[in-house]
Amino acid sequence: MYELFEEAGCPPGVFNFMTGGGATVGNALVQDIRTRSISFTGSRAVGLSINELAARAPKGQLWIKRVVAEMGGKDFILVDKEADVEAAATGVVQAAYGFQGQKCSACSRAIVHQDVYDEFIEKLLPKVKALRMGPAEEPATQVGPVINEKARTTILGYIEQGKKEGRLLAGGEKGPGDGFYIQPTVIADVAPDAVIAQEEIFGPVLAVIKARDYDHGVEIANGTDYGLTGSVYSRNPRVLEDARRRCHVGNLYLNRKCTGALVGVHPFGGFNMSGTDSKAGGRDYLLLFLQAKSISELV
């Protein structure tokens, strides 16, 4: 990609490519007095650390560094009693297991009205169990390996925790083959304050949570430290209008899955510990890298 930028005529020094560990190369760049703006996508812990380091102004630094941080989420799909349950189940599967759940916007919580809870699970499980695992380069593959062994170990640890916190309905084990595969996992009857309902797992693990009613569902949806993406399925226009006001996320989807924002078209950014609400992909995002200058002239 760097070579393509050069070939396209990007002036030297505008786009630079560096590799290295975050604790070494990353911290050095953040703390350097010549750095003016920082854009970061990654974990909450690292994002907060960058924000803290950037807030310090060492001798010789002439500006306050600006940080744009996108730090993950604990995203939900809320299924109302008046939802198209078939469509909701399809959306949850696509959002929970696409890219093996390794997306900050991946659905990790399905919050389902008690009136359609059993029906939702009945429609969900066949779709999950039908997912094809295999190497990512094979077109037929729907679930590939997670990024590395460390990630697989961490995710499997969350699954073991989830087995204590709910009812394992699908997956729960390593996948076949030599890669870092994990079976698409569904854990039902999870309490809203359970570990697997609160912490970002970043893997193919779905917690299914029962809501007493729609209002309780919104309470559960908003009940984490994050606020990146969310989705509400309902045929009731009043429910959808209410969701627009009360679901506290940067990107809300109605009657569709909670993933799939188009870069450069669909503004994307989160609330709370999901980041600085930068709305990457919209016009406001560019302004975060600029500084306003007002000029007045007496004529």
Active site residues: 70, 104
Using the 8-state DSSP alphabet, how is residue 146 labeled?
Answer: -
Task: Look at residue 239 and give its three-state secondary structure.
Answer: helix
Token couple for 148: 């590395």
Residue 44: CB atoms within 10 Å: 18
Read off the amino acid at residue 299: V
Q: Which candidate, 83, 9, 71, places its Cα nearest to that of 39?
A: 71
Distance CA 246, CA 215 (A): 10
For residues 72 and 202, what is the distance between their CA atoms, to the nearest angstrom?
9
Phi, psi of 155 (to 5 degrees): -65, -45
The C-alpha atoms of residue 50 and residue 216 are separated, in whole angstroms, by 36
Give me the phi and psi of 185, to 5 degrees please: -115, 135
The one-character DSSP state at 262 is: P
In angstroms, the CA 275 to CA 169 distance is 33
